Structure 1
Amino acid sequence: MVEIHSISVFHELLGYEKPKHPLITLIDFNNMKPRIEYINTKYVTGYYTIALKKGKGCGMKYGRGYYDFSEGSLMFLSPGQVAVVEESSSEMEGWMLCFHPDLIRGSSLGNKIDEYTFFSYDTSEALHLSENEKEVITNIVQSIKKEYSQNIDIYSQDLIVSNIEMLLNYSKRFYGRQFITRNNVNKDLITRFHMLLRRCFEEENLVEKGIPTVKYIAKEMGYSTNYLSDLLKKETGKNTQEHIQFQLVEMAKNLLLGTNEPISQIGFMLGFEYPSHFSKFFKQKTGMSPVSYRKKS
């Protein structure tokens, strides 16, 4: 495993020309000549990466299906994620925009970068672009390159960062379009999600395994946690955690009204280790304690 914390070191690893800016670079896949010892080697970077890949041989698994991405797919990596340097191919085209966190530190983008959850999606959950979308993205990237390649002045960083933010906002819009256009696939996903949630909330499963986590649900569905939550939010108005909590509250209400079990036992049946945790959770979600809800109803 190779750790890369600077743009200049990454250029050296790829056999690329020296960077024009210490904190940001745009790399053309066709101009890469990675050193032999680093080909097919896993590496961890200390910067953000946005990559557009297109060309023959760019098929990949997306969710539970296989799709041809020869027209181009956009992928996002955040600092600390693992990637692999591949040997460049004449049939593969595209670019890779890399920028260090120091570039956006202290800016409005730096304060909200975590809101762009697609940086934590799996590579199999890439953004598939139409020709028009690809043109929009590429034009912004070229503007970024032009800005950092010329003489740096007091306005350079603000202009570079604002263009990166525009790029990310367009990516968010295009991901929203992708969620919508994959409507039939998404309906199947929602059905499978609700079936899985029902299984998780069967009494014996709650007692044995506890309350299902977002991470567990996403893994069982075959998606990253952020991608599944974002997709569910688009389709249903609730993210994964909200669905889990809603199911928990509904089951608690049924047990409070439909049984004579003590509150402590109901909490245990729902996967809570301590009765006080159950009571606190129920009051947060309903505005009433379990005892008050049972009496009122």
Structure 2
Amino acid sequence: MVNIESISELHDILGCTKPKHPLITLIDYNTVNPRDSYYNVPFKLNFYMISLKNNAECELIYGRKYYDFHEGSLMFTAPGQILAKGSRSGNEKRDGWMLVFHPDLIRGSALWHKLPEYSFFEYEANEALHLSDQEKEIVDRIVSHIQVEYSGNLDTYSNDLLLSNLEVLLNYAKRFYGRQFITRTAAVKDSVVKFERLLQEHCTTEAIEKAGMPSVKRLAQEMGYSPNYLSDMLKKETGKTAQEFIKLHMLEIAKRLLLTTKDPIYLIAERLGFEQPSSFTKFIKMQLGVSPAEYRRLKAE
């Protein structure tokens, strides 16, 4: 595996000319010409990447999966992701670009603190954003502004303008993903039904005692989604994240056990997969405003 730590190192590996900025770059896929020895070699990218491919016959290995880019597919990756270029093809078309920026470019800024809002950086490759022609024009225009800004003579305003344009780009991506969830309403509704059915199966005392408390990661994996994509899809359709769904189901089980059994609190906590009774007590107090024992007493009166 090849660890790529800097923008200049990335340019060198891809056979591109030297970068114009040490922390951000826009690479046209037509300019990429890596040596044969770099094909099918896994790379660990230690920066953020936004990649657009158009009408592409380009196979990318993302993690352990192959992903064939289609027209207007926008993909986001966070630092630490593993990527590789598929085998060289004589008919390979390269229409698109990758915008890459190092974490140091935004570290400590307002955008740095807003990054958790852009959960698509943790999506899987097959959850890429598919752009309409109008959306692609907007994205291309913003990226062009970013390139102009970092390519010119840097001054005291350069970094602020770069970060502002990056934030605009990410905000549009968030909007476009919202549109994508809406336009795929039928598929989304089917996924919501499947998720709720799967959650019901996992949220029984028998299932929890056997496999532990259900997690977003485990449920998403069973559905073929990344955890962030699943939560964002559910939030858009239902107003609740996957974690909120799990909490509601766990709360209902807890309430039922507290009211229909005389089991001690520590035993109920254990049956529900809580490592410590104190964690269970904290969970109940956060959801109901009272401790498990107080809830039992109030309902018994």
Q: Scaled by the length of structure 2, what TM-score is found?
A: 0.91
Q: Point out where structure 1 has 5 or more consecutive residues left out of the alignment.
A: 61-66
Per-residue deviation, 1:142: 0.7
Q: Deviations over 1:207-243 (max 9, x none)?
A: 1222112211111111111111111111111111111
SS of equivalent residue, structure 1 residue 22:
coil
* Residues 120 and 21 of structure 1: CA distance in aligned 2, closer, same or farther (over 3 Å): same
Partner of 1:199: 201
Aligned equivalents of 2:263 and 2:27: distance in 1?
A: 64
Partner of 2:50: 50
What are the equivalent positions in structure 2 for 1:45-124 lying under 5 Å apart? Answer: 45-57=45-57, 70-86=70-86, 87=88, 90-124=92-126
Q: Which moved more, 1:115-124 or 1:49-58?
A: 49-58
The one-letter code matched in structure 2 to 1:79 is P
Per-residue deviation, 1:84: 1.1
Partner of 2:20: 20
Aligned equivalents of 2:59 and 2:295: distance in 1?
A: 54
* Residues 28 and 56 of structure 1: CA distance in aligned 2, closer, same or farther (over 3 Å): closer
What are the equivalent positions in structure 2 for 1:206-221 lying under 5 Å apart? Answer: 206-221=208-223
Partner of 2:4: 4
The one-letter code matched in structure 2 to 1:154 is T
Q: Deviations over 1:254-281 (max 9, x none)?
A: 2222333333332233223443332222
Per-residue deviation, 1:296: 1.7
Partner of 1:35: 35
Partner of 1:239: 241
Aligned equivalents of 1:277 and 1:167: distance in 2?
A: 40
Per-residue deviation, 1:107: 1.9
Q: Point out where structure 2 has 5 or more consecutive residues left out of the alignment.
A: 61-66
Aligned equivalents of 1:20 and 1:274: distance in 2?
A: 54
Aligned equivalents of 1:9 and 1:244: distance in 2?
A: 43
Aligned equivalents of 2:21 and 2:275: distance in 1?
A: 54
Aligned equivalents of 1:272 and 1:109: distance in 2?
A: 36
Any conservation in 1 of the 2:76–2:121 contact (CA below 8 Å)? yes
Per-residue deviation, 1:42: 0.7
The one-letter code matched in structure 2 to 1:200 is H
CA RMSD, 1 decimal: 2.0
Any conservation in 2 of the 1:30–1:90 contact (CA below 8 Å)? no
State the identity as a percent. 54
* Residues 40 and 205 of structure 1: CA distance in aligned 2, closer, same or farther (over 3 Å): same
* Residues 273 and 21 of structure 1: CA distance in aligned 2, closer, same or farther (over 3 Å): closer
Aligned equivalents of 1:150 and 1:289: distance in 2?
A: 61
Match for residue 282 of structure 2 among 277, 280, 283: 280
SS of equivalent residue, structure 1 residue 3:
strand
Partner of 2:264: 262
SS of equivalent residue, structure 1 residue 96:
strand
Partner of 2:147: 145
Partner of 2:229: 227
* Residues 24 and 56 of structure 1: CA distance in aligned 2, closer, same or farther (over 3 Å): closer
Partner of 2:294: 292
Answer yes or no: is 1:158 the counterpart of 2:160.
yes
Aligned equivalents of 2:167 and 2:78: distance in 1?
A: 15
Per-residue deviation, 1:72: 1.1
Aligned equivalents of 2:188 and 2:97: distance in 1?
A: 30
Aligned equivalents of 2:222 and 2:92: distance in 1?
A: 38
Aligned equivalents of 1:266 and 1:102: distance in 2?
A: 47
Aligned length: 291
Any conservation in 2 of the 1:76–1:119 contact (CA below 8 Å)? yes
The one-letter code matched in structure 1 to 2:174 is K
Runs of 4+ with deviation above 6 angstroms? none
Aligned equivalents of 1:276 and 1:150: distance in 2?
A: 58
